[in-house]
Amino acid sequence: MKILVPVKRVVDYNVKVRVKSDHTGMDIANVKMSMNPFDEIAIEESVRLKEAGVATEIIAISCGVAQCQETLRTAMAIGADRGILVETDVELQPLAVAKLLKAIADREQPSLIILGKQAIDDDCNQTGQMLASLLGWPQATFASKVVVADGKVSVTREVDGGLETLSLTLPAIVTTDLRLNEPRYVTLPNIMKAKKKQLDNLKPGDLGVDVTPRVKTLKVVEPAQRSAGMIVPDVATLVAKLKNEAKVI
Protein backbone atom coordinates (compact mmCIF):
# COMPACT_ATOMS: atom_id res chain seq x y z
CA MET A 1 0.00 0.00 0.00
CA LYS A 2 1.26 3.44 -0.96
CA ILE A 3 0.67 6.44 1.31
CA LEU A 4 0.92 10.11 0.29
CA VAL A 5 1.67 12.63 3.03
CA PRO A 6 1.49 16.36 2.17
CA VAL A 7 3.70 18.52 4.42
CA LYS A 8 3.79 22.31 4.69
CA ARG A 9 6.64 24.66 5.56
CA VAL A 10 5.42 27.15 8.18
CA VAL A 11 6.82 29.55 10.76
CA ASP A 12 8.04 27.49 13.72
CA TYR A 13 5.39 27.24 16.44
CA ASN A 14 7.81 28.66 19.03
CA VAL A 15 8.24 31.91 17.08
CA LYS A 16 6.04 34.93 17.77
CA VAL A 17 5.02 36.27 14.38
CA ARG A 18 4.84 39.97 13.60
CA VAL A 19 2.71 41.93 11.16
CA LYS A 20 4.53 43.85 8.42
CA SER A 21 4.61 47.60 8.81
CA ASP A 22 2.54 48.03 5.63
CA HIS A 23 -0.08 45.50 6.89
CA THR A 24 0.21 43.33 3.78
CA GLY A 25 0.96 40.14 5.69
CA MET A 26 3.23 38.52 8.26
CA ASP A 27 6.95 39.27 8.44
CA ILE A 28 8.79 35.98 7.92
CA ALA A 29 12.20 37.40 6.97
CA ASN A 30 14.98 35.71 8.97
CA VAL A 31 12.38 33.72 10.93
CA LYS A 32 12.86 30.05 11.81
CA MET A 33 10.69 27.79 9.64
CA SER A 34 9.73 24.18 10.28
CA MET A 35 7.24 21.48 9.31
CA ASN A 36 3.61 22.11 10.24
CA PRO A 37 3.10 20.15 13.51
CA PHE A 38 -0.08 18.42 12.28
CA ASP A 39 1.77 17.25 9.15
CA GLU A 40 4.58 15.91 11.34
CA ILE A 41 1.95 13.80 13.11
CA ALA A 42 0.73 12.59 9.68
CA ILE A 43 4.27 11.52 8.70
CA GLU A 44 4.71 9.71 12.03
CA GLU A 45 1.43 7.84 11.58
CA SER A 46 2.34 6.76 8.05
CA VAL A 47 5.73 5.51 9.26
CA ARG A 48 4.03 3.52 12.03
CA LEU A 49 1.73 1.94 9.44
CA LYS A 50 4.78 0.95 7.38
CA GLU A 51 6.54 -0.47 10.45
CA ALA A 52 3.40 -2.53 11.14
CA GLY A 53 3.63 -4.01 7.64
CA VAL A 54 0.51 -2.23 6.37
CA ALA A 55 2.22 0.24 4.02
CA THR A 56 4.99 -0.42 1.51
CA GLU A 57 5.93 3.13 0.44
CA ILE A 58 5.55 6.63 1.90
CA ILE A 59 5.78 9.66 -0.37
CA ALA A 60 6.07 13.13 1.17
CA ILE A 61 4.79 16.06 -0.90
CA SER A 62 5.27 19.78 -0.39
CA CYS A 63 4.06 22.73 -2.45
CA GLY A 64 5.77 26.11 -2.30
CA VAL A 65 9.15 27.79 -2.53
CA ALA A 66 12.48 26.02 -3.07
CA GLN A 67 13.20 26.04 0.67
CA CYS A 68 10.40 23.48 1.10
CA GLN A 69 13.07 20.91 0.20
CA GLU A 70 14.27 21.23 3.81
CA THR A 71 10.81 20.26 5.05
CA LEU A 72 10.76 17.26 2.71
CA ARG A 73 14.21 16.16 3.94
CA THR A 74 12.86 16.30 7.49
CA ALA A 75 9.91 14.12 6.44
CA MET A 76 12.32 11.65 4.84
CA ALA A 77 14.46 11.67 8.00
CA ILE A 78 11.36 10.67 9.99
CA GLY A 79 10.75 7.80 7.57
CA ALA A 80 9.29 8.85 4.21
CA ASP A 81 10.83 6.92 1.29
CA ARG A 82 10.92 9.77 -1.24
CA GLY A 83 9.74 13.32 -1.73
CA ILE A 84 8.03 15.44 -4.36
CA LEU A 85 8.31 19.24 -4.40
CA VAL A 86 5.87 21.28 -6.48
CA GLU A 87 7.89 24.48 -6.65
CA THR A 88 6.25 27.88 -7.10
CA ASP A 89 6.66 31.38 -5.71
CA VAL A 90 2.93 32.08 -6.02
CA GLU A 91 0.98 32.32 -2.75
CA LEU A 92 -0.77 28.97 -2.59
CA GLN A 93 -4.31 28.85 -1.24
CA PRO A 94 -6.13 25.67 -0.10
CA LEU A 95 -7.96 25.06 -3.38
CA ALA A 96 -4.75 25.38 -5.42
CA VAL A 97 -2.93 22.98 -3.08
CA ALA A 98 -5.82 20.51 -3.28
CA LYS A 99 -5.69 20.60 -7.09
CA LEU A 100 -1.92 20.01 -7.06
CA LEU A 101 -2.31 17.09 -4.66
CA LYS A 102 -5.08 15.61 -6.81
CA ALA A 103 -2.82 15.73 -9.87
CA ILE A 104 -0.07 13.93 -7.95
CA ALA A 105 -2.53 11.40 -6.55
CA ASP A 106 -3.70 10.66 -10.10
CA ARG A 107 -0.07 9.96 -11.03
CA GLU A 108 0.95 7.95 -7.96
CA GLN A 109 -2.34 6.09 -7.32
CA PRO A 110 -2.00 5.84 -3.51
CA SER A 111 -4.34 3.85 -1.28
CA LEU A 112 -4.25 6.42 1.51
CA ILE A 113 -3.53 10.13 1.88
CA ILE A 114 -2.76 11.34 5.40
CA LEU A 115 -2.35 15.06 6.08
CA GLY A 116 -2.60 17.48 8.96
CA LYS A 117 -6.07 18.79 9.75
CA GLN A 118 -4.83 22.38 9.30
CA ALA A 119 -1.71 24.51 9.01
CA ILE A 120 -0.74 26.71 11.94
CA ASP A 121 -0.08 29.74 9.72
CA ASP A 122 -3.45 30.26 7.98
CA ASP A 123 -5.57 27.83 10.08
CA CYS A 124 -7.80 27.22 7.05
CA ASN A 125 -8.62 23.54 7.71
CA GLN A 126 -9.78 23.17 4.08
CA THR A 127 -7.20 21.31 2.00
CA GLY A 128 -8.05 17.76 3.11
CA GLN A 129 -11.77 18.26 2.59
CA MET A 130 -11.29 19.91 -0.81
CA LEU A 131 -8.95 17.13 -1.92
CA ALA A 132 -11.47 14.46 -0.91
CA SER A 133 -14.13 16.24 -2.93
CA LEU A 134 -11.91 16.58 -6.01
CA LEU A 135 -10.90 12.91 -5.89
CA GLY A 136 -14.33 11.65 -4.87
CA TRP A 137 -12.77 9.68 -2.00
CA PRO A 138 -14.21 9.07 1.49
CA GLN A 139 -12.66 11.18 4.24
CA ALA A 140 -12.25 11.16 8.01
CA THR A 141 -11.08 14.37 9.66
CA PHE A 142 -9.61 15.11 13.13
CA ALA A 143 -8.33 11.54 13.54
CA SER A 144 -7.15 10.44 16.99
CA LYS A 145 -6.72 6.76 16.02
CA VAL A 146 -6.17 5.04 12.65
CA VAL A 147 -6.38 1.29 11.98
CA VAL A 148 -5.94 -0.15 8.47
CA ALA A 149 -7.08 -3.73 7.74
CA ASP A 150 -8.87 -5.74 5.03
CA GLY A 151 -9.02 -2.92 2.49
CA LYS A 152 -10.63 -0.53 4.96
CA VAL A 153 -9.41 2.14 7.35
CA SER A 154 -11.11 2.58 10.73
CA VAL A 155 -10.73 6.12 12.06
CA THR A 156 -11.64 7.36 15.52
CA ARG A 157 -12.22 11.09 15.26
CA GLU A 158 -12.71 13.81 17.82
CA VAL A 159 -16.06 15.60 17.68
CA ASP A 160 -17.75 18.11 20.00
CA GLY A 161 -19.71 15.42 21.81
CA GLY A 162 -16.79 13.00 22.29
CA LEU A 163 -15.47 10.38 19.87
CA GLU A 164 -16.86 9.04 16.59
CA THR A 165 -15.56 5.97 14.74
CA LEU A 166 -15.83 5.74 10.95
CA SER A 167 -15.00 2.89 8.59
CA LEU A 168 -13.79 4.00 5.15
CA THR A 169 -13.19 1.95 2.03
CA LEU A 170 -9.74 2.54 0.52
CA PRO A 171 -8.60 4.71 -1.19
CA ALA A 172 -9.37 7.33 1.44
CA ILE A 173 -8.21 10.58 3.02
CA VAL A 174 -7.46 11.08 6.71
CA THR A 175 -6.59 14.36 8.45
CA THR A 176 -4.73 14.14 11.76
CA ASP A 177 -5.45 15.69 15.14
CA LEU A 178 -2.97 16.34 17.96
CA ARG A 179 -3.77 13.22 19.99
CA LEU A 180 -3.15 10.73 17.17
CA ASN A 181 0.50 10.21 18.14
CA GLU A 182 3.70 11.87 19.32
CA PRO A 183 6.26 12.29 16.49
CA ARG A 184 9.62 10.65 17.04
CA TYR A 185 12.88 12.50 17.54
CA VAL A 186 14.82 12.78 14.29
CA THR A 187 18.30 11.32 14.74
CA LEU A 188 21.46 12.49 12.98
CA PRO A 189 22.01 9.17 11.12
CA ASN A 190 18.49 9.41 9.67
CA ILE A 191 19.09 13.04 8.68
CA MET A 192 22.19 11.92 6.75
CA LYS A 193 20.28 9.05 5.11
CA ALA A 194 17.51 11.46 4.06
CA LYS A 195 20.00 13.47 1.99
CA LYS A 196 20.43 10.48 -0.32
CA LYS A 197 16.73 9.76 -0.82
CA GLN A 198 14.96 10.65 -4.08
CA LEU A 199 13.43 14.13 -4.28
CA ASP A 200 11.59 15.05 -7.50
CA ASN A 201 11.02 18.67 -8.44
CA LEU A 202 7.90 19.67 -10.42
CA LYS A 203 6.18 22.89 -11.43
CA PRO A 204 2.41 23.53 -11.30
CA GLY A 205 2.49 23.72 -15.12
CA ASP A 206 3.86 20.16 -15.26
CA LEU A 207 0.69 19.03 -13.52
CA GLY A 208 -1.62 21.24 -15.59
CA VAL A 209 -2.82 23.18 -12.56
CA ASP A 210 -3.58 26.91 -12.39
CA VAL A 211 -2.51 28.15 -8.94
CA THR A 212 -3.60 31.78 -9.41
CA PRO A 213 -4.95 33.04 -6.05
CA ARG A 214 -8.74 33.37 -5.87
CA VAL A 215 -8.77 35.26 -2.58
CA LYS A 216 -7.05 38.59 -1.99
CA THR A 217 -5.80 39.66 1.42
CA LEU A 218 -6.77 43.30 1.89
CA LYS A 219 -5.15 43.99 5.24
CA VAL A 220 -3.48 42.19 8.14
CA VAL A 221 -3.50 43.75 11.62
CA GLU A 222 -2.63 42.54 15.11
CA PRO A 223 -5.55 41.82 17.46
CA ALA A 224 -6.61 44.69 19.69
CA GLN A 225 -5.00 44.83 23.10
CA ARG A 226 -7.26 43.48 25.85
CA SER A 227 -7.79 45.67 28.88
CA ALA A 228 -6.90 44.31 32.30
CA GLY A 229 -9.54 42.52 34.31
CA MET A 230 -10.90 43.72 37.65
CA ILE A 231 -12.40 42.31 40.84
CA VAL A 232 -15.79 43.68 41.92
CA PRO A 233 -16.99 43.60 45.53
CA ASP A 234 -20.49 42.26 44.90
CA VAL A 235 -23.04 41.13 42.32
CA ALA A 236 -24.77 44.52 42.20
CA THR A 237 -21.53 46.23 41.13
CA LEU A 238 -20.93 43.53 38.51
CA VAL A 239 -24.41 43.98 37.03
CA ALA A 240 -23.99 47.77 37.01
CA LYS A 241 -20.69 47.56 35.15
CA LEU A 242 -22.06 45.06 32.61
CA LYS A 243 -25.03 47.33 32.00
CA ASN A 244 -23.46 50.81 32.06
CA GLU A 245 -19.82 50.23 30.97
CA ALA A 246 -19.74 47.07 28.90
CA LYS A 247 -23.35 47.59 27.72
CA VAL A 248 -23.91 43.86 27.23
CA ILE A 249 -27.13 43.67 29.25
In three-state secondary structure terms, 168 is strand
- Does residue 32 lie in a domain region? yes
User: pLDDT tens, 58-78?
Assistant: 999 999 999 999 999 999 999
In total, how many domains does the chain have?
A: 1
Evaluated on CA atoms 183, 187, 189, 192, the torsion sign reads positive
Give the model confidence (pLDDT) of 138-147 as tens digits.
Answer: 999 999 999 9
Q: Is residue 249 part of a domain?
A: no
Residue 194 lies in a domain: yes
Phi, psi for 180 (deg, rounded to 5): -65, -45
pLDDT of residue 224: 82
Domain holding 29: CATH number? 3.40.50.620
* Other Cβ atoms within 10 Å of 30 Cβ, number: 5
Q: Is residue 14 part of a domain?
A: yes
Q: Is the pLDDT of residue 49 over 90?
A: yes
Q: Work out the percent of the chain whose per-residue pLDDT is above 70.
A: 100
State yes or no: pLDDT of 2 exceeds 90.
yes
- Identify the domain containing residue 180 by its residue range: 2-244
CA dist., res. 182 & res. 48, Å (int)? 11
If you ran DSSP here, which 8-state letter would residue 180 be given?
G
Map residue 14 onto helix, strand or coil.
coil
- Average the pLDDT over 76-93 and give the result: 93
With respect to residue 196, please indicate whether it lies within any of the assigned structural domains: yes
Apex 225 CA angle, 223 and 227, nearest 5: 145
- What confidence tens digit (pLDDT) does each residue in 188-240 have? 999 999 999 999 999 999 999 999 998 888 888 888 888 788 898 999 999 99
Question: How high is the pLDDT of residue 152?
Answer: 92
Residue 80 predicted with pLDDT over 90: yes
Whether the CB-CB separation of 72 and 194 falls below 8 Å is answered with no
**What pLDDT score does 230 carry?**
84
What does the pLDDT read at residue 215?
A: 87
Query: pLDDT, tens digit, for every residue of 101-126?
Result: 999 999 999 999 999 999 998 889 99
- Neighbouring residues of 22: CB distance < 8 A, sequence distance ≥ 6: none
Residue 236 forms part of a structural domain: yes
Is the pLDDT confidence value at 29 over 90? no
Per the CB < 8 A criterion, the answer to whether 217 and 25 are in contact is yes
Q: Is pLDDT above 90 for 22?
A: no
Find the helix packing angle between 37-51 and 68-78, rounded to 10°: 30
The pTM is what? 0.84
CA distance 214 to 209: 14
Phi then psi dihedrals of residue 112, to 5 deg: -150, 140
- Mean pLDDT for the chain? 91
Q: Is the pLDDT of residue 168 over 90?
A: yes
* Backbone dihedral angles phi then psi of residue 178, each to the nearest 5 degrees: -60, -35
Q: How far apart are the first and last CA of the chain?
A: 59
Q: CB–CB of 43/75 below 8 Å?
A: yes
